[in-house]
Chains A and B, each alone.
Chain A
Amino acid sequence: MTPYNPFNRNFGTGTRTKAVRPDMKWHELTRAGNIYEPGNANTYETGDWRSIRPVWNKERCIHCLMCWRYCPDASVIAKGGKFETFDYKHCKGCGICAKVCPVNAIDMVPEDEIKKVKEANKDEE
């Protein structure tokens, strides 16, 4: 740990090489609150905000990618110009993708229903 010195202009720059973590102490933080890792919000999960979940229907999907275009959370992952999967870690369940889908290939299912189905499957096992 570097002792605090108000005249050291490079104070705090020790963390330039590594990512800032929420559990860091104040003196370990970067100078001027700079963030040196672009797009690190990816590690912050907003998926637990969701109360309804988009479920993809593979048969009906025509890979038009309208859902990808209109997702505010970049949670529709397209690979090679085709729908790949939903990013449930960041999806907030707004339901826009299901609404813009021209072939109704996305169903919005309440999270507690999914939980119930999962629990029922567990009981059977």
Chain B
Amino acid sequence: MATLKELSRVEERFVGGHRLCAGCGHGISVRMILNAVEDANVVVGCATGCLEVASTIYPYTAWNCSFIHNAFENAGATISGVEAAYRALKKRGKIDRDFKFIAFGGDGGTYDIGLQSLSGAMERGHNIVYVCLDNGAYMNTGIQRSSATPTGADTTTSPAGKVIPGKQQPRKDLTAIMAAHNISYAAQTAINNWQDVHKKAKKAIEVEGPAFLNVLSPCPRGWRYNTPDIVQITKLAVETRFWPLYEVENGKWKLNYKPKKYVPVEEFLKPQGRFRHLFKPGNEHLIKAIQEEVDSRWLALLERCGETPELPPR
């Protein structure tokens, strides 16, 4: 494991001057992942989303590497096409350098709109890495619900009112869907633990064949928490088991972090404005339902990872 001192010597591939909001989780995640590439040449593709519209406003680009522009639904298809073209040219001896291929997508462009092209790219077995930066809604267009939005969250298309308390449906488990493609590597990680992100990004890049990373990347605007607390809020998501850290390597599930203590999911919901309505009197059953969902998902995950399915001690 490289230290920060060594990593800080790696060339910056996502430079300042992009127009992401102050304190955006995407900037942190992208810098961590591209830092793990180290000296290799890299080609980046980006599905439409906050990251894409904020980093490549013509005539500027924040990407200090090759970048290919995409529509919302085809980041997986484009990057697999680029990879196939690269392999063909390499075979004919027209390219002599080695390249790595990374696609970034938000949760809207991955969970919903880009799922078919991503699924195709994974099935065809291209040597690519797809990174989903999950901030739990379509933040770019004004915080609309996506299938990554957690139950009970207040968004502009699932507003919390007198009758309906935010989003009704549970969240889609995309990492498990990707693992079901039997790809070389699929992992879920969060930026509060940079060693974990670095290790998983490095593994994903080095592995032969398709790899998928799901990174929890908080959005201060959409989640409505105090901007500097980004690490604390991500840590709470991991500690409350809302966002477990695990990886699936060639079909083998492995849990990377097991909280030592039982932390109720309220701790994660409380600092966020999008869940404020859940703490009004009379809404206790909603929090209880969210807690039950989190617990049942955690037990199912433990079983998949071959560990004893039990909740952490209170």
Contact = CB atoms under 8 A, between A and B. Distances in A.
Contact of B228 (A19, A22, A81, A94): A94
B228 A98 contact: yes
Contact of B28 (A38, A49, A72, A89): A72
Interface stretch (B53-61, B171-179, B287-295): B53-61
B97 interface: no
B25 interface: yes
A61 to B, nearest CB: 13
Contacts of B12: 39, 74
B8 A65 contact: yes
Size category of the binding interface on chain B: 35 or more
A65 B5 contact: yes
B1 interface: no
Interface string B23-44: 1111110011000000000000
A44 interface: yes
B60 A38 contact: no
Nearest to A99: B228
A33 B60 contact: no
Nearest to A51: B22
B17 to A, nearest CB: 4
A87 interface: yes
Nearest to A39: B64
A42 interface: yes
A46 B19 contact: yes
B58 A73 contact: no
B194 interface: yes
Contacts of B303: none
B36 to A, nearest CB: 12
B31 A74 contact: yes
B59 A21 contact: yes
B14 interface: yes
Contacts of A92: 21-23
A82 B4 CA distance: 10
B16 interface: yes
Given A40-B59, A73-B18, A74-B12, A95 B4 contact: no
Interface of A: 19-22, 24, 29, 33, 35, 37-46, 49-50, 63-66, 68-75, 78, 80-82, 87, 89-96, 98-100
Interface of B: 4-9, 12-28, 31-32, 55-56, 58-67, 191, 194, 220, 227-232
18 contacts: A19-B59, A20-B58, A20-B59, A24-B59, A35-B56, A38-B64, A39-B63, A41-B60, A41-B62, A42-B16, A49-B22, A50-B22, A71-B28, A72-B23, A73-B17, A80-B9, A82-B5, A99-B230
Given A38-B65, A44-B17, A94-B227, 6 more contacts: A38-B61, A39-B15, A42-B17, A44-B19, A70-B231, A95-B23
